Every structure is written in C-alpha cells, then in structure tokens.
Chain A
Amino acid sequence: GAGVSQSPRYKVAKRGQDVALRCDPISGHVSLFWYQQALGQGPEFLTYFQNEAQLDKSGLPSDRFFAERPEGSVSTLKIQRTQQEDSAVYLCASSLGLAGGETQYFGPGTRLLVL
C-alpha cells in the first residue's frame, strides 16, 4: 500500500518568500504530525493533528509557521517570509489511531533551502 508522501521533495526559496509544503498521509490515518530536521540533528516536533483538529502546535518556532488539515486528510505546512534558519528537512508522519503507543510512519521529507 501507499505510504506517506510529501511534495515537493526539494524546495529552494529566496529569503522572504512564502512556501507551502504538502503531506499526504496513509489513507485512514487519524493522526498527522510535522517535524523539522536540521542538518545532523534528530527530528523536532512541530505540530499534531487529530483528523482536522490541530491539537498541539507547541513546536512551531514562530508565528511565521502555520499548518492546516482542513478535511482531515491532506495537510499543508506553510512558512511565511522564510528565513535562512528555516532551512531544514520537513518530515510528515501519520499514525492510525490515537493511542500513545501507535507507530508513526514517516514520509520522505521536503528539503527546504532558503537562500
């Protein structure tokens, strides 16, 4: 079956430009997560959706970052007025249910480079 997909795989943006990153979770998965992975580091949590509800956005680094999942499936992470420090790989993950022990399945990521 299809896994988590993300697009684009690579994005180069000029500083100050807005970008939108898309995530298609595994069909039927209730939970969706966004992570940011800086070079040489482990992923860091950004935000979490349960269906269309954004239940935790404590990891979003600034108000330039905004995520949505309006119909409870596809999600978009938007970064406004990009800065060089936003350069990272953005990973999306989904899990079937709500239990804490549920496995999160990750997409291939979007590598964002801000010049």
Chain B
Amino acid sequence: AQSVAQPEDQVNVAEGNPLTVKCTYSVSGNPYLFWYVQYPNRGLQFLLKYITGDNLVKGSYGFEAEFNKSQTSFHLKKPSALVSDSALYFCAVRPLSSASKIIFGSGTRLSIRP
C-alpha cells in the first residue's frame, strides 16, 4: 500500500538552532513530493515540492528539503529556527500513477522555544 510516514508526532527545537522534520514514503516509482504547513484554524500552506532535478529543494520561509531516493525520504530542514515556525507540518506524496490523489502523512507538530 502507498503511504507516507512522519515518525515524530512532535519536534521541539530552541530558537536559532537547526531543525529537521522527517518524512519517508512508500510508493511505486518516483513520486512528486510536497511539504505543507498548517497554522491553527487555517488551511494548508504550500512550502516546497520536489518534481525532478536537484535533490535539494528550497522553499518558502527559509525551509528546504532533501530528496533521498535510496532512503525514500524527503526530510524538511531549516538552518535556524524561528518561534514563528511553530506549526503543524505535513509531508505529502503524489504517485506518478495517480492523476489526482495526494497522500498525506499524519503531521508533525513543530514547537520552537524562545
């Protein structure tokens, strides 16, 4: 079955420190990969995506993600965390075999302490 795993329900980081939010996937072929962020009472906001090409993708708000085909991972990273980065982060994949469906992970709550 096709799936996305976010192994950490919560990640706690001190402001100014680097952060990583992990994501692994299990789909056939090379999927399209996405990261979204969700703030309270708001919809999902697009952060970045991997389609093809350079494995390191840069996105909004200083976030970046690295596609690792051998490990089937797409971890989200930021060199220096801000308190305002505190939110719920979702990794998502769209299999090449799917004309429409995006499969989301269960989410990781990122908490940045001052």
Contact = CB atoms under 8 A, between A and B. Distances in A.
B44 A45 contact: no
B111 to A, nearest CB: 16
A2 interface: no
B100 A44 contact: no
Nearest to A91: B43
Contacts of A55: 99-100
Interface residues of B, number: 26
A41 B106 contact: yes
Which of A43, A48, A59, A93 is most buried by chain B, counting CB atoms within 10 A of its CB? A43
B7 to A, nearest CB: 14
A103 interface: yes
B75 interface: no
A101 B36 CA distance: 14
A106 B36 contact: yes
A18 interface: no
B91 to A, nearest CB: 9
A25 interface: no
A100 interface: yes
B101 A42 contact: no
Contacts of A100: 32, 94, 96, 98-99
